[in-house]
Structures are given as structure tokens and as C-alpha cells.
Chains A and B, each alone.
Chain A
């Protein structure tokens, strides 16, 4: 018997497509894959082999193992994406883990900006002429771009949405 409503305390697998949806408001796998592709240019093949699950209102988890009945476990995989809101939001850790291949809506920060972002500070970003909303934020580290997580760009300002427990006052890397 399939449940018709979302139950916050258990994991339920996302339906493959919107047509197979039985729980109102639940994102489908197809929509999740399309969203990462359209928003960040991260192709669906990236997530082949992973399964997606909802626990809590709109919180989508990504899992790479075997789970038959994950209704009585504490966690599977890692949190990935917040749905059931107008603008979906990747988690910081998902953006770090999967964001490095993003080609759209990626904002690269200089060393000072990166340090402000990691500390959780909002900052003015007048040069950005891309989309508003959630962006993948990167900086150069050890020769390559590394994803710092997710920022929210609105009205010329990049808001750091690094969770409080993950913020750090870090050194400004000297590029001279």
C-alpha cells in the first residue's frame, strides 16, 4: 500500500517521474535531475546509480547504497536538496560534493571574498550579471576551482548560507 501523504520521520523513495507521484508535493527523480541540469549544467549521468529519498518536509537525501526498507533507519546517505518551496536549494555539502562540474549559475570568488563567504558574511557583488537565486560558489584552491557551497544572490548582494556550525574564520589566501 502506498502512502498518500508525506510522513516527516521516515524515508520514502522519490517516484521516478511526476506521473508516478502518489504523495502530493513530493518531487520526482526526473524533476530533481532536470533541475540540477537546468540550473547548474550538471548532467543527469552524474547521479546515475544514486537514489533519492524524502524525509522531513521537502528534504531530499542522496544515497549510493542498498536499502530495502529504510523506514526505520536514522539516515541514508546525505542531505542533498530542499524542495517543497518556490526556489529549490541544494545543501552546502551537496554543492561541495557535486558542484565542481557545474557550468551555469556558478560564481567564482577572489580570496578575500571566499574568506568572507566561509565566515558566513553577506557581501555586495555588483559585477554579477547572471541569474538571481541560489548559486554554486567557488574559489581557486590548490590549482583548481573548489566548491564552497551555496550562496543566495539577490539585489546585488551574495548572501552566504553556510550553516552556522560550518562557518569558519579562515586565512585569505595570498595570490601575489
Chain B
């Protein structure tokens, strides 16, 4: 018998072991839901799959009686717009400021301490400030996401630039590169895939800030809806919404990964020469 740390599951066993916890959770839910519903048919805490299905149907494919909107899609669109805008803006700032900080010591001396200090401010603590300054509209939500993840992206990019071997930068100079050419042709293309990696890591926080902002002030959005229906204990809406958000998060992560793989083939066979 081999040591435990040397025993590896076969391909099939790996898939099976991966599915197992999901299946167990599902079974546990079904069992608990059945028990509660048997005791009280009006129980709202663990709704049966049938009522969850009905709720999904009515949110996604029936127009809302009051507004005439298909709520799930309206919410999804609103949330994805805010998230996309906030993440895009942060990624852009990360790239521009991060690369400038990493590549140009004069920039770094001036901006790095500021970015460092800003990254220590808990973004949620200044959400009220954002609401006061930008109002309760879209800007403050996008701003919260940006303030939440941009400092991380900037610092990560700066670090990635500083990690490039010095030999490469010297070599580029012996090939006649100016500072600008060096940034454009040597640094930028090498940190782009790393930026996409960092964006994938920061998406979790981006969702967190988005839902927090929507929970406090919004008229539509996935986070808004969850917090709205909480008042009615509508677990049949909350649970599928949470699953939907998880699915969206998974899909964006997956798409970013595929994008990196397609666009930067050199990045995946070692990254370094």
C-alpha cells in the first residue's frame, strides 16, 4: 500500500470525487426541505424544487405585473453593466498606472506610496462618501468597484513589471529602445496576460462591491433583487439568484482564461525563456 500522499485518483475517480460533494449537498437540501415542508407546508426557508422552478419561471419569462419588465434579465443586464464598467476602468488604470509605476522610477517614487495608502482604505467605509459625491445613480456603484479593485490591480501590475528580468530591459536598450519603445514593445505585451490573471482574481471582490452597492441603493440589479425579496423571506428567488450569480462569475472567469490562452500562446509554455 502506497503512502496516502502518493495515491492519485484515476481520471474517472477524479470526476466522481468532484461531483460527490455537490450531490451530497443537494441530497441534504432535498431531505431537509422535505422534512420542513412536511411539518409546515407554508415554510419559506427551504423551498421545494418545484416552487424554486416556478419562481425562476416567473422572474425570467413572465413580465413583472408592476413594471412590465422581465426582472431576471433586467437585473442581470444592470449588474453586468456596472460590473463590466467598473472592472474595465480598473483594468485600464491598473495597466496605465501600474506599468508607469513599474517601469519609470520617477513615477514610482511619486505615485507608489499614494496607491499603497489608497489600497489600505476599506472601500465599503467610503461608500457613503461616494453616494454623497456621485449621488445614488450608476456612477457611485461603478466608482465603488473601481476603488475596491483598482489599487490591487495597479500594485499587481507594478510588481509584475518589476519582476521582469533586468537582463531583458538592458538587452532592449542595447537594441536601441527608447523608454517609450521599451514599455510598448517589451513590458506591455508581457504584462497583458498577467493583467488578465489579476482581473480574474479580482472579480470576486468586484462582485462583492457590486452587490453591496446595489443592496444599499438601486432600483434594479441582482444584488438589489436579493435584498429586496429578503423582506418576504423569498428563498425561492434568493437561492436561484445566488446560483445565477455564481454561474455568471464562473463564466466570466472561464472566458477570461480562454481569452488569455488564445491571445498569449507564449505565456502558457513557461512564460520565461
Q: Do A and B come from one complex?
A: no
